[in-house]
């Protein structure tokens, strides 16, 4: 290749592989761009803090500076019961769609045969009293009106990634669960598997996600594969709320003593009735 052609190829590659990460505060801002997708586009949605939020305030990331020491002490005190106690919070804490119309957006994309999946960094497999985390997440989203159509009814495990807590990252009913691996790494393993099985390779990938590090992880993986990427850093709208450290500490103490999670409302009722957290 002569020098001129080399320069031209470099410019073309840069244009082709150019990735963008934009900020959005509502899925309304993404409706026009989503209308440009087709069956060769893969649209990915993060779940926590992108599709849903957890209703109890101690689960709000924006209050992290207020709850992180409290939770750290609670998990230290829990010792080997930590996973059990956390799984009780997972099961009991109510989940709410941040923007309910996102369920319609996902259905409309599916009606146009656009591939739409969830990409979540949560644990896979068994966790505490939850036998299969991916089934739990599937059921919670389904109950909120969101289902992700899958390539396969079978659960796929990505054994090319290392295990964590004896579990691999998995793909299950349209939900790609990284089991705490980087999202780019697991998306890459999924794309390899689906290409081998189905010959499918998207020509464009979009990710809606509240964590910038996860967007960058996916951006790097797709750049290495020559797939165009558009990332959307989702910033809300999250509900207005105030953190109450007395309720939060009561919830953690009650969880420690009774192995039961109380919602914010239940904890407030206990406090108002003078019920002590410990036996």
- Which part of the chain contacts Mg ion (CB under 5 A), choosing from 14-22, 23-31, 204-212, 248-256? 204-212
Query: Encoding tokens for residue 55?
Result: 């209703």
Nearer to Mg ion, 40 or 68 (CB): 68
| Least distance CB 254 / Mg ion (angstroms) | 27
Q: How far is the CB of 234 from Mg ion (least distance, A)?
A: 8
48 part of the interface to Mg ion, by CB under 5 A? yes
Q: For the chain, how many residues are written?
A: 279
46 forms part of the interface with Mg ion (CB under 5 A): yes
Q: Which residue has the tokens 């244009």?
A: 15
Residue 182 touching Mg ion (CB under 5 A): no
Q: Which of 123, 134, 157, 210 binds Mg ion (CB under 5 A)?
A: 210
Write out the DSSP string of 58-95: GG-GGGHHHHHHHHHHHHHHHGGGHHHHHHHHHHHS-E
- Using CB under 5 A as the binding criterion, the count of chain residues that bind Mg ion stands at 4
Give the CA count within 13 Å in the CB-facing half-sphere of 58: 26
Q: Which is nearer to Mg ion, 46 or 221 (CB)?
A: 46
| Cβ atoms of 117 and 172 closer than 8 Å | no
Cα 84 to Cα 126: distance, rounded to the nearest angstrom: 11
**Residue 183 Cβ vs Mg ion, minimum distance, rounded to whole Å:** 10
Query: Site map for Mg ion, 113-132, x if CB under 5 A?
Result: --------------------
Rounded least distance, CB 175 to Mg ion, Å: 13
Which stretches within the chain are classed as H helix? 3-16, 31-34, 64-78, 82-92, 102-111, 133-143, 183-198, 212-225, 245-258, 264-273
* Helix 64-78 / helix 82-92 crossing angle, nearest 10 deg: 130
Alpha carbon distance 106, 116 (integer Å): 7
Q: Report yes or no: 26 and 237 within 8 Å, Cβ to Cβ.
A: yes
| CB closer to Mg ion out of 44 and 247 | 44
Residue with Cβ nearer Mg ion (48 or 253): 48
Measured from the CB atom, is 50 or 277 closer to Mg ion?
50
Beta carbon of residue 265, minimum distance to Mg ion (angstroms, whole number): 25
Q: How far is the CB of 47 from Mg ion (least distance, A)?
A: 7
Cβ pair 237, 78 in contact under 8 A: no
* Binding segment (CB under 5 A) for Mg ion, from list 36-44, 46-54, 126-134, 164-172: 46-54
Task: Give 48 or 192: the residue with its C-beta nearer to Mg ion.
Answer: 48
CB nearer Mg ion, residue 11 or residue 212: 212
Q: Residue 80 is encoded by which pair of tokens? A: 């080997």
Give least dist CB 50 to Mg ion, A: 5
**Interface residues toward Mg ion, by CB under 5 A:** 46, 48-49, 210
């Amino acid at each position: 290749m002569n020098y001129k052609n080399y320069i031209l190829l470099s410019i073309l590659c840069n244009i082709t592989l150019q990735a963008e990460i934009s900020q959005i505060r509502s899925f309304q801002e993404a409706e026009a761009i989503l209308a440009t997708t087709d069956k060769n586009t893969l649209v990915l949605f993060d779940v926590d803090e992108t599709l849903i939020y957890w209703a109890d305030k101690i689960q709000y990331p924006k209050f992290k500076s207020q709850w992180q020491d409290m939770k750290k002490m609670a998990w230290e005190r829990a010792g080997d019961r930590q996973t059990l106690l956390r799984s009780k919070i997972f099961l009991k804490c109510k989940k709410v769609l941040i923007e309910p119309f996102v369920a319609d957006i996902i259905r409309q994309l599916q009606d146009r045969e656009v591939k739409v999946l969830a990409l979540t960094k949560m644990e896979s497999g068994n966790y505490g009293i939850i036998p299969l985390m991916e089934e739990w997440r599937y059921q919670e989203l389904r109950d909120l009106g969101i289902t992700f159509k899958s390539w396969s009814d079978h659960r796929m495990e990505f054994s090319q990634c290392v295990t964590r807590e004896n579990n691999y990252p998995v793909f299950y009913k349209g939900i790609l669960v990284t089991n705490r691996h980087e999202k780019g790494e697991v998306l890459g393993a999924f794309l390899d598997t689906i290409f081998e099985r189905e010959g499918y390779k998207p020509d464009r990938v979009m990710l809606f996600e509240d964590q910038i590090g996860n967007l960058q992880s996916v951006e790097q993986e797709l750049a290495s594969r020559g797939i165009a990427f558009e990332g959307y850093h989702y910033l809300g709208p999250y509900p207005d709320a105030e953190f109450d450290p007395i309720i939060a500490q009561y919830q953690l103490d009650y969880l420690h003593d009774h192995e039961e999670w109380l919602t914010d409302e239940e904890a407030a009722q206990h406090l108002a009735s003078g019920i002590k957290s410990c036996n």
